[in-house]
Amino acid sequence: MKRYDLIVVGAGPSGLSAAIEAAKKGLHVVVFDENEKPGGQLFKQIHKFFGSKEHKAKIRGFKIGESLLAEADEAGVEVVLNATVCGLYQEKELTVRIHDQIHHYKGDAIIIATGASENMVTFDGWTLPGVIGAGAAQTMMNLHGVKPGNKVLMLGSGNVGLVVSFQLLQCGCDVVALVDAAPRIGGYGVHAAKVARTGVPFYLSHTIVKAEGEDHVTGVTIAEVDSHFQFIPGTEKHFDVDTICLAVGLSPMSQLLKMAGCVMEDNPKRGGQVPICDEHGQTSIPGIYVAGDVSGIEEASSAMIEGRMAGIAASEYLGFIDKEERDSSMDSLDSALDALRQGMFAPKNKGKKIEKTDEGIDISQNLLKHGYVADDEIERFPGITHRMGVHPVMECTQNIPCNPCQDACPMHCIKIGEHITSLPAVDEDKQCIGCGMCVASCSGQAIFLVNETYEEDYASITLPYEFLPLPTMGDKGMALSRSGAPICEAEVIDVKSSPAFDHTHLLTIKVPKEYAMKARFFQGGKENA
């Protein structure tokens, strides 16, 4: 039986972060993961993360994964792949299946970072080929370069459903609809808005009646549901699709913790069956810790911080650091984690109907129901400005933990303040130079540069653009509204790409002046589509 100071189960963001912190403290650490590649969900994430600089904001998920792997290697962490942990016992012993053999290990401390599994929803035809989970779609697209389907319907409007819908569009799929049984969109409004302005319709208070087809999906029928989630007769709608993608939540993979005898609880706010643990992730069994989604469903940014906390706690438990050093390290991590758990999407607000922002501004009801802020709602938010020359317009209308735009502006035009959940505002005393760094840095693609006085009868709008093929200067097409409706002709007058933008291209279009505050996406002509 081989022995380690610390055994970590799961090589995702939380597990790797835990292993790195512990190894830096001098522990002999091994990480077991059942997959062929380490990194967990990070390598499926091609979008930029939210938060602040310390949360790795505006960095794409897969790049964060690459950074963690490099850091783990430098710290001397041993990572064993294709290794399925099939047993965990109170004495902190594990049985691990590696290839065709069972191995026996003992750790002086154990950190379980097994993450979560996708939930499924059953309906007539749900077992047909073509019904897939959102995670599977991401794996196909972002790990293997495989297009999941041609015409896709997405079920679920949480952040996963919204993010994957956008990635499906980037992959060249036609997302015919985004459906959710809930009456309100569950994820960030900025994620919903970037999907809506491409023309994808939202059907809330709807769910799937049946998938159609013999040996694969050929269509889907949805219907409206009442307050008890029962179908309303006569509201059925049919779509021709070849793929149905499900993003209906996650469940913690806590089976090993149950096996070990950890005290568990059924906590819907944390995603289901989770272990009872302290603020540092220690379970009811001394020396067994948890981190990441297995202890409660949150974002990857939170999981990485929780992993670091568990790694430090295990180091103190084993005597590699003293309590004073532990507490000193934990203070900054507690602050970073607390910052991510603020705003209207904080765990404490789960299930609550939030009607006003922290600033006292009425929440956009159109955003919650249709995925975009209506024209008669947008002007009430502090990021919406009008002035001579080029200036930023920030359509960030919810209190989410994110502030890269504030740091990105070299002229300090954008102010958020010390609370990263505050709505961004423009400092009227500062002059925008039109560099576009704020547009490129915005993880929610919610910032635009507008010049309402570009020409006598025309305005210019600089948009974030992450689709291929990239339009070129002189291309003509249609400007789309926040709802994705064509509203006027548009001409591309500039395209900027820079390593500093990290693959977010800046597309500047010219539109009639009256559409300066309405045009938010460019759709090229057939020859450019």
468: left (phi over 0), alpha (psi -120 to 50) or beta: beta
Residue for token pair 């994620």: 191
Nearest to 287 by CA among 115, 461, 90, 431: 90
Q: 496 has which bridge partners?
A: 506
Q: Are 25 and 3 in contact (CB under 8 A)?
A: no
Q: Which long-range contacts (CB under 8 A, 24 or more apart) does 472-477 make?
A: 472/528, 475/524, 475/525, 475/528, 476/525, 477/522, 477/523, 477/524, 477/525, 477/528
- Tell me what pLDDT residue 378 has: 97
Nearest to 48 by CA among 232, 294, 301: 301
310 pLDDT band (50/70/90 cuts)?
very high
Q: Hey, what CATH topology would domain 120-246 get?
A: FAD/NAD(P)-binding domain (3.50.50)
- Tell me what pLDDT residue 347 has: 84
CB under 8 Å to 304, separation ≥6 — which residues? Answer: 13, 14, 17, 56, 64, 68
Beta strands 521-524 and 476-480: pairing type?
A: antiparallel
Q: Quick check: 418 pLDDT over 90?
A: no
- Tell me what pLDDT residue 526 has: 55
Q: How far apart are CA 216 and CA 298, in angstroms?
A: 34
What does residue 28 show for φ and ψ, rounded to 5 degrees? -85, 110
Q: Quick check: 382 pLDDT over 60?
A: yes
Q: Quick check: 350 pLDDT over 90?
A: no
- Express each pLDDT in 256-287 by its tens digit: 999 999 999 999 888 999 999 999 999 999 99
- Tell me what pLDDT residue 237 has: 98
Q: Tell me the average pLDDT of the chain.
A: 95
Asked if the domains 2-117+250-340 and 120-246 are classified in one and the same CATH topology, the answer is: yes
Mean pLDDT of 437-453: 97
- Tell me what pLDDT residue 527 has: 45
- Express each pLDDT in 65-119 by its tens digit: 999 999 999 999 999 999 999 999 989 999 999 988 999 999 999 999 999 999 9
Residue type, 56: K
Percentage of residues of the chain with pLDDT beyond 70: 99
Domain boundaries, the chain: 2-117+250-340, 120-246, 370-524
CB under 8 Å to 444, separation ≥6 — which residues? Answer: 50, 188, 190, 191, 193, 194, 396, 400, 402
Q: 517 has which bridge partners?
A: none
- Tell me what pLDDT residue 48 has: 95
Domain 2-117+250-340: top CATH class:
alpha beta
Residue type, 158: G
Q: How far apart are CA 356 and CA 368, in angstroms?
A: 12
- Tell me what pLDDT residue 405 has: 95
- Tell me what pLDDT residue 40 has: 85
Q: How far apart are CA 41 and CA 46, in angstroms?
A: 10
Mean pLDDT of 177-185: 97
Count Cβ atoms below 10 Å from residue 423 Cβ, excluding itself.
19
- Tell me what pLDDT residue 302 has: 94
Q: How far apart are CA 415 and CA 433, in angstroms?
A: 16
The Cα angle at residue 492 between residues 489 and 497, in degrees rounded to 5: 150
343: left (phi over 0), alpha (psi -120 to 50) or beta: left
Mean pLDDT of 470-474: 97
Percentage of residues of the chain with pLDDT beyond 90: 93
Mean pLDDT of 315-334: 96
Q: How far apart are CA 457 and CA 77, in angstroms?
A: 62
